[in-house]
Amino acid sequence: MGENFTAIDLFAGCGGLSEGLRQAGFHVIAAVEVNKQAAETYAANHKETLIFNEDIRKLDTKKINELLKGERLYLLAGCPPCQGFSSMRRLNRREPVDDPRNDLILEYLRFVKELNPLTLMMENVPSIINYDLFKYVVNELEFMGYYIDYKVVDVSKYGVPQRRKRFVMVGSRISEIKVLLGNNERRTVRDVIGGLESAYNSSDPVHKIFPKHIARIEKMISQIPKNGGSRTDLPEEYTLECHKKKNVGFKDVYGRLRWDDVSSTITGGCLNPSKGRFLHPEENRCISAREAALLQTFPSDYIFPLNIPKTSLALMIGNALPPLFSKIQSSNIFTHIEECYLSRV
């Protein structure tokens, strides 16, 4: 029966959430993603899914209903952007940054109202919980008859080899459902990228993508202690001028990952060591695009474009929902449908 469990992925990015849905057994019939590069990457990896590369605000849900052919939609999943609520955007501000993308959560609600899915899943930044529009959406969903549960969790508790706090919400028309808690399975940087060949002589073109630096920066990186060292360990002569002022900048920048720990959060700056702790534990370089993707738990053969700027590729990888985390939460919903819905029909 599971092969008929249809799902739709809104704000799909390059396909991290859909990869987890697919691995859990759902049939993702459609996805929506406005960014052309991300949509093309999605299409290259999910050939069985129809990707709508357009602004979701202009997409008529009748197009989705045509794909369903009168059948029930089992799961509507999505990660509506709320950049104004990310901790990096807010920094020391209590109030969110005024960003028009914050309102896209209402498009998620519109799709729920018009497609009437059996179950829901939504992922986002943790601070969305304090967002008035989020509270409004939850009230609307509960009024429509959905049992809703949501939590902020750390994906490192689910076997994802990085420290990354995310908000996740699940909902069901069938009966009560809960966000699945992690089993504290721990995978480390070594577990995931320790066995890779050197990026310098790899046959994988995605593994060859990492930034090159001017000689002074290369020299500085070479002086950072292996396996977890950071810029604070550098002798004075190798410290960048911008790092000499006290209480300025993030201490993790130009830091190395630790082999036997999880990585820092893989962000949209993951291919730039000046943006965080993204240096390889041993080699004198930033992690590669493939290593970043693996730390996000994408399959080792996941296709990424080679002809776009590193900044765009890093953003695509860093913004993705880790597929393993998606798979675990999706599998919980899949089991919920099997046990609580199919037994009644």
Q: Which stretches of the chain are DSSP H helices?
A: 16-24, 36-45, 62-68, 87-90, 105-115, 132-143, 189-193, 215-223, 289-295, 310-318, 323-340
- Give the span between the Cα atoms of 151 and 293, in whole angstroms: 25
Q: What is the dihedral of CA 130, 125, 33, 267, to 10 degrees?
A: 150
CB 56, CB 34: distance < 8 Å: yes
Handedness of CA 218, 204, 47, 2 (dihedral sign): negative
Do residues 280 and 259 make contact, with C-beta atoms less than 8 angstroms apart?
Answer: no
Backbone dihedral angles phi then psi of residue 78, each to the nearest 5 degrees:
175, 160
CA neighbours within 13 Å on the CB side: how many for 241? 1
* Cα(28)–Cα(6) distance, integer angstroms: 6
Q: Which residues of 15-42 are buried (b: 16+ CB within 10 A; e: fewer)?
A: bbbbbbbbbbbbbbbbbbbbbebbbbbb
Neighbours of 270 (CB within 10 A): 30
242 catalytic? Reply is no
CA–CA gap between residue 286 and residue 152 (Å, rounded) = 29
- Whether the CB-CB separation of 79 and 321 falls below 8 Å is answered with yes
CA distance 336 to 330: 10
Phi, psi values for residue 17, rounded to 5°:
-65, -45
Nearest to residue 148, comparing CAs of 120, 185, 126? 120
Catalytic residue among 14, 82, 270, 286: 82
Any idea which residues carry the catalytic annotation? 82
